[in-house]
Amino acid sequence: MRFILKTCCFISMFFFVNVNASMVDEINANALSIPAINDFTQSPTNTFWLATEKGLFSYDSTHLFSSHTPPFSAFATLNVLQVAAYKSWLLVNTEQGLSLIDLISNQLIQLTDSPLKQQIFTTDHGFYFLHLGQIYTIKNEKLHSAYAFSEQIVELAAGFNNSLWLHSGGNAASRFDTASNAIISRLSAPADITQLSPSQTSTALVISTSNEQHYLFNNTHSLETIKLNHTNVQHLNFFQDHLYYLHNNQAYKYDLTTKSSKPLFYNSPAHFLSIKQNNEQLWLQTNTKNWVRLYAMQIIATPITESPAPRIQQYFKMLAQIDNFSKGKKVLSMYYLHEDKWAITTSNGLYLYSARTQAFDLLLPEQANVLHFTAPTTLWIASKKQLINYDFATQQHNFSLPVSNINAFTPLSDTQYLASNNQQLFYISDQQAIPLALDTTHPLGEIRDIFYQRNSSRLWLATKNGLWQTPVDSALTTKSVHFNKVSMFDTTAIYEAPLDTLWIVDSQAIKLYTPSTNVWVENATHSMAANIDDSISQQQLPQAQFTVSYRDKIMLFAPQNTSILLEVHATQSIPQNNLFSISHLALHYQESDQHYYHLATNALNVQQPLKGVSVWFTSDSNLPMRLSYRLDPNGQWLPLPSSQSMLSLTADQKNIYLEVKNLNQVNSEPLVLLIKQTALTLPNWFNYLILTTIFIILLLLVIYKLKNGAKHNLANALMAQSKDAIWIANEDFQITDINQAFTTICGFTLADVVGKKPKAYTVEGRDKKLESLIHNDLETDGYWSGEIWNLRKDGQPYALDLSITKVKTPNLRNSSAHYIGLFSDVTARKNNERAMLKLTTRDSVTGLSNRTIFIESVNKAIASCNNNFPDLLIIFIDLDNFNKINESLGHAIGDELLKEVAGRLSRNLDSGYTLARLGGDEFAILVPPYLYSGMTIFFAKKLADKILAQFQTPFMLDGIESFISACCGIAVYPENGYSSEALMRCANSALNHAKKMGHNNYQFFDKSKHTIDSNELNKESALFRAIEHQDFQLFYQVKYNADKNQIHGFEALVRWPQVDGSLISPSEFIPLAEQNGAIIPLTLLLMKQLFKQLELWRNQRVNFGKVAINISALHFQQSSLLETLTECLTNYDVPARCVELEITESAMMDNPEFAQQQMNRLKALGFTIALDDFGTGHSSLGYLKRFPIDTLKIDRSFIKDIIDSEQDRNITATIIRLAKYLKIDVVAEGVETKEQAYMLHVMGCNTMQGYYYSRPLHADKVAAFIEKNNQRKHSSLGND
């Protein structure tokens, strides 16, 4: 029995499966010199079967085989209508009927006498087709009805997940599942169905009806009407979420999102007959019955509007800023530099524009075009008379070249460039410009643009007379350059596009062009049409002022908000397995040949005498094949000529061994073909006699073995039924037997391991040290056990609990020893232990060490410090504004950002450093003693700069470019602490200080800045107690209208009364409240106190005017502010018009968009808004115009010296005039003298506030103050 098993295992080693993918883009009958192609299919072995008007052909993308031998010769003169492939079967439909071919046995079976009228479909369960109005498949090489339908089916179409859609001519359609051979769903259309077009990647279906309507069914039990741009469409196909169809023999694509159609091939002379899907690709049949594959890329045109999509909105905002800036001047061109920087040429100068800061900085006060940017800050600029190398950081000319009217520029390398004016090329290197002679067979015409493509070493010229290119790898630094013409259309621009393609802008269209590797074809035809992936005609685009290359996209800058963004999207992916295989094998006998198109095994037994063999090879690689072969396993490799992919051999020996490898595919295994010639051919009855005799002999041997092995039944039962793996080895430690559990656990059969010693392997290789340890223990103790890792047959690691026992047999004549190994698979338990360990030591989002492991690492590093290595360094890193990413894009995108940050830091830090994520957006780095000791502070600074540099490159978050900055806090052992807790506290304190200093900086721990004063802690506790006990009081300072000589209103100012009767000024406790978060509960307390007091005054008929109260920046940014004020208006009888809310410039500018929304909400409630301390912050006048501000308050710092300081007078006068222009009231703070009041009154400021008019008053004294003022002059205040 074991002999039989060994034989079967040996035979099975010769079977193989070859999975390949075709890279064919076109099947052209004229190029292949064959009749017109009606249909084609692709078999699993990478062979195209072509159904032509005269016969069936096979094509492996390199070789064409006409199949003149049986069974294919039966179709040599027939019009083959259809062909389909499934595994090793071909289904051939001709006018004489349907036939089945077995490609292994080369047998032909006739199935029907009449041809099929509709398409054959191939699923995972076989062929399916319509025959006599019913669905048929093939079983046991015969027709088989898949399902008995009561009605005649008129159409069948392949759908998603091996399903078929069908209908019977009415308005009902059914979905048929080929796995269960059952109807799984039904639907009804508004009219009779004429065509079904299902998607093969989803359950969606498009239905065409008799009234020329089309409906989309997307499994929601509803039909959505589709308005195609054409009527009377044919061959509608649902492919990858788009619809493809023919109209008047032209091909169109309908976008289900934009609801619009566009031609597939712009200005194509070809007309099309049909469309089909094959091997997840879309193919179109031309009127000459050739087949072309749909291109793999397409151009997407997106209008740049105020779209809700953030990606488009950022372009819209940028263009809006440029449009606003360009009023009064004309924008001539734009050039993208890097990050958010652009160069903009206008009619009155060259500007540097930052999209992030919205700043326009003048670089040159003359018309000049930026042609090229070289990192970090170098520009190549062309003016009318010279070419300038310019540094925009220092705003200095590095050097200039006396070359005039340069209009195009392209880099050849980091130090070599080409430039052109309208007629001439210049080679630029070493601050010299050398003119080049242009060698062409036709006049170039006016040069519009140049582009050097580094990956192909080709130079491209866009001229009035067309598009030109240099030969591949031609020298561009010589004095003469040769050009060949590619296109005859007037070409204006060439830009870089994704995947080594080019944007070509010419008089016809904007085209996406893949340069041909076969350059001479383009040069000979002056046409690049075959290599255009997609295009958009100029008639479909708005009239643009100019085009701009932005990374690998194009922006069409057009007036009146009609700018367009052009991008490249991949429509399909072509599988590339990078393999080569045998496409055809021919055996040559004396009288005839035998052909094989599908080899089930690489080992063939053939009859003698064999004259020779011919083998054809094919590859899916883009590179040509370079084949070498040998005829002996140990022989020398012999090369084939580079153009040859077929090998013919004579049968000089009994057996033919052929091994072939493709030198251009180093990762592919060599192909081995073994052909064995049998000595003679015996009749079938003699073969049966021999087999019967062998069977009887084997049966007798089995019976004999069973009788003599009865005493081993118990051992055999133990071996067979044990769930643990068992192996037995002889005295030489060579395996002699295993049980089934051994094979189940590790995959090795007895044939794999018999006669071999057990070995220990890990993913790093063989563990000889462990093997030696086991062997020594067995020799010493006769036993070994333990848990180890090993590799299964498929290379996967697994854990086993192994015990080995040495068994001695002294009673035998020849005393010997055996070894018995017993093991169980404990991989699941080990993986669980690893997973638990990872959960406790690794961060679940980034995979970095967590806080626990980082603290352990710091403790170990501190313990390892000695005289030689006394220092170590830790750095805390915190991302700036990370919460905005989570709030705007979601936590999933936030996690992706954390992963990307962890990846960048890991790739750019020394492998000896410990990198951890402590939590949230905080990371930490430990530089151990052996790497940091002996270094200076400059090392730490350089490392911090390197860390912050990782955040200079934008992050792509959900398709949106986002710039994220970070801050670092640095602490050093032992200067800043002797324990991990102290060091981390110091680093965190330094980090907090860095964040206060602004974004994108680092700070070292400084004890003088970070020591916490006990008095501060006491004051903080007292502050919280005072809020809880409501100790704070509001005092009211009058605002006086000097023009009307009457009280205008009051400002509520908070004071903190003390036990001794003193008052603490807000300048002492407000910063502390903002720092520790007490400012919001403090504001809530004061707001309720204010409304309560105002309600009391209103009841007492006190004419207090409008009372202002300050809102902190922190509270202003909270949405809860609106709820607080609404609650106050509800609980107290005080109108919102009686209260004015004062905010600072910093509160307004921290988040301008939110600030504007918050102000609008407050204004809607009826409050007025004052901008406090104006002139001391950094508010933009543009925002000042946008924000709904009622009052500007001039800061007291400008009033203090207004009498003696001309500068303060000018600033104050400017603010007053600005407020008048904007129709905003103005109030001057800090007026303390009569002279100041007079000066302000003369300047036009009528409302003032300060000690000159009154100190802040207690609430009890306000009514008396107003009454006293009214006695002097009747107040005109009203509080209706």
Which tens digits make up the pLDDT trace of 428-454?
999 999 898 887 777 888 999 999 988
C-beta separation of 750 from 729 below 8 A? no
Name which of 563-572, 908-917, 1199-1208 the model is least confident about. Answer: 563-572
Residue 237: the pLDDT is 93
Residues 932-936 have a mean pLDDT of: 83
pLDDT exceeds 60 at position 210? yes
Cα(897)–Cα(966) distance, integer angstroms: 13
- How many CB atoms lie under 10 A from the CB of residue 536? 19
What tokens appear for 637 in the block?
């490799």
In terms of C-beta distances under 8 Å and separation of at least 24 residues, what long-range contacts does 816-819 make, across chains too? 816/730, 816/731, 817/731, 818/728, 818/729, 818/730, 818/731, 819/728, 819/729, 819/730, 819/733, 819/778
Query: Listing from the earlier edge strand, what are the strands of the sheet with 89-94?
Result: 80-86, 89-94, 97-102, 107-110
Residue 324: the pLDDT is 85
Query: Is the pLDDT higher at 1234 or at 711?
Result: 1234
> Three-state SS for 848?
coil
Instruction: Please report, for the chain, how many H helices and E strands are present, in that order.
Output: 29, 86
Residue 296: the pLDDT is 58
> Three-state SS for 899?
helix
Residue 620: the pLDDT is 64
Cα(83)–Cα(98) distance, integer angstroms: 10
Which tens digits make up the pLDDT trace of 1112-1121?
888 888 878 8
C-beta separation of 159 from 200 below 8 A? yes
Alpha-carbon radius of gyration of the chain? 43
Q: Between β-strands 458-463 and 447-453, what pairing exists: parallel, antiparallel or unpaired?
A: antiparallel
Polymer length in residues for the chain: 1280
pLDDT exceeds 80 at position 556? yes
Residue 1175: the pLDDT is 65
Q: What percent of the chain has pLDDT over 90?
A: 31
Residue 451: the pLDDT is 92
Q: Between β-strands 1191-1194 and 1063-1064, what pairing exists: parallel, antiparallel or unpaired?
A: unpaired
Q: Which amino acid is at 279?
A: N
pLDDT exceeds 70 at position 837? no
Which residues 6+ apart lie within 8 Å of 646 measured at CB? 63, 614, 615, 616, 617
Residues 67-86 have a mean pLDDT of: 88
Query: Where are the domains positioned within the chain?
Result: 340-569, 582-618+625-662+670-676, 688-721, 724-831, 842-1010, 1032-1269
Sort residue 794 into left (φ over 0), alpha (ψ -120 to 50) or beta. alpha
Which tens digits make up the pLDDT trace of 712-725?
566 677 777 788 89
Placement of tokens 């992050």 in the chain? 955
Helix (H) or strand (E) holding 721: helix 713-721
Residue 120: the pLDDT is 94
Query: Listing from the earlier edge strand, what are the strands of the sheet with 359-364?
Result: 331-338, 341-346, 349-354, 359-364
Residue 478: the pLDDT is 57
Q: Any idea of the CA torsion for 530, 536, 540, 544, to the nearest 10 degrees?
A: -130
pLDDT exceeds 80 at position 187? yes
C-beta separation of 373 from 335 below 8 A? yes
Residue 517: the pLDDT is 53
Query: Is the pLDDT higher at 784 or at 576?
Result: 784
CB-based burial of residue 83 (10 Å sphere; 0-12 exposed, 13-18 middle, 19+ buried)? buried
pLDDT band of residue 666 (cuts 50, 70, 90) is: low
Mean of the per-residue pLDDT values of the chain: 83
Query: Is the pLDDT higher at 1184 or at 849?
Result: 849
pLDDT band of residue 575 (cuts 50, 70, 90) is: very low
Residue 5: the pLDDT is 32
Residue 352 Cα to chain centre, angstroms = 30
Name which of 386-395, 489-498, 658-667, 674-683 the model is least confident about. Answer: 674-683
pLDDT band of residue 706 (cuts 50, 70, 90) is: low
Residues 808-835 have a mean pLDDT of: 75
> Three-state SS for 313?
helix
Which tens digits make up the pLDDT trace of 96-154?
999 999 888 888 999 999 999 999 999 988 999 998 889 999 987 888 888 788 888 99
The Cα-based distances of 1181 to 42, 288, 785, 1186, 1224 in angstroms read 68, 68, 81, 9, 13
Cα(523)–Cα(487) distance, integer angstroms: 9
Among the listed residues 534, 43, 467, 519, the one whose alpha carbon sits nearest the alpha carbon of residue 264: 534
Q: Which amino acid is at 891?
A: H
Please check whether the domain covering 340-569 is classified as CATH 3.40.30.10.
no
pLDDT exceeds 80 at position 285? yes
Mind giving me the DSSP string for 324-384? HHTTTS-EEEEEEEETTEEEEEETTEEEEEETTTTEEEEEESS--EEEEEETTTEEEEE-S
Residue 332 Cα to chain centre, angstroms = 34
Mind giving me the DSSP string for 169-212? SSSEEEEEETTTTEEEEEEE-SS-EEEEEE-SSSS-EEEEETTS
Residue 476: the pLDDT is 60
Residues 738-763 have a mean pLDDT of: 89
Q: Which amino acid is at 799?
A: A
CA dihedral sign, ordered 370, 373, 378, 380: negative
Q: Any idea of the CA torsion for 522, 526, 531, 537, to the nearest 10 degrees?
A: 170
Helix (H) or strand (E) holding 1199: helix 1196-1199
E-assigned strand segments in 904-1007: 914-919, 922-927, 955-957, 960-962, 966-973, 1002-1004
pLDDT band of residue 579 (cuts 50, 70, 90) is: low
Which tens digits make up the pLDDT trace of 1049-1091?
999 999 999 888 888 888 888 888 877 778 888 989 999 999 9
At the fourth CATH level, the homologous superfamily of domain 724-831 is: PAS domain (3.30.450.20)
> Three-state SS for 1156?
helix
Among the listed residues 148, 71, 69, 146, the one whose alpha carbon sits nearest the alpha carbon of residue 110: 71
Cα(823)–Cα(742) distance, integer angstroms: 9
C-beta separation of 733 from 758 below 8 A? yes
Residues 218-231 have a mean pLDDT of: 82
> Three-state SS for 373?
strand
Placement of tokens 């080995």 in the chain? 804
Cα(1261)–Cα(996) distance, integer angstroms: 42
Which tens digits make up the pLDDT trace of 1245-1260?
999 999 999 999 999 9
Of these ranges, 692-696, 720-724, 1168-1172, the one predicted with the greatest mean pLDDT is 1168-1172
- How many CB atoms lie under 10 A from the CB of residue 46? 24
pLDDT band of residue 529 (cuts 50, 70, 90) is: low
Query: Is the pLDDT higher at 927 or at 782?
Result: 927
C-beta separation of 146 from 136 below 8 A? yes
Residue 929: the pLDDT is 92
Name which of 364-378, 575-589, 659-673, 1161-1175 the model is least confident about. Answer: 575-589
Residues 677-683 have a mean pLDDT of: 58
Residues 1001-1028 have a mean pLDDT of: 74
Instruction: Say which DSSP state 764 is in.
Output: T
* Cα separation of the two ends of the chain: 111
pLDDT exceeds 70 at position 1176? no
What tokens appear for 569 in the block?
């999207």
CATH number for the domain whose boundaries are 1032-1269: 3.20.20.450
pLDDT exceeds 80 at position 1109? yes
Residue 125: the pLDDT is 87
Beta bridge partners of 574: none
Side-chain half-sphere CA neighbours of 821 within 13 A? 26
> Three-state SS for 1120?
helix
The Cα-based distances of 406 to 259, 340, 352, 364, 383 in angstroms read 44, 26, 20, 17, 8
The Cα-based distances of 851 to 522, 843, 874, 918, 994 in angstroms read 62, 8, 13, 5, 21
At the fourth CATH level, the homologous superfamily of domain 842-1010 is: Reverse transcriptase/Diguanylate cyclase domain (3.30.70.270)
Among the listed residues 470, 528, 463, the one whose alpha carbon sits nearest the alpha carbon of residue 491: 463
Instruction: Say which DSSP state 404 is in.
Output: -
In terms of C-beta distances under 8 Å and separation of at least 24 residues, what long-range contacts does 514-519 make, across chains too? 515/453, 515/456, 515/458, 515/469, 517/622, 519/469, 519/471, 519/472, 519/484
Cα(505)–Cα(558) distance, integer angstroms: 16
What tokens appear for 223 in the block?
């039909």
pLDDT exceeds 80 at position 708? no
pLDDT exceeds 80 at position 577? no
Cα(1053)–Cα(1262) distance, integer angstroms: 13
Among the listed residues 51, 117, 118, the one whose alpha carbon sits nearest the alpha carbon of residue 81: 51
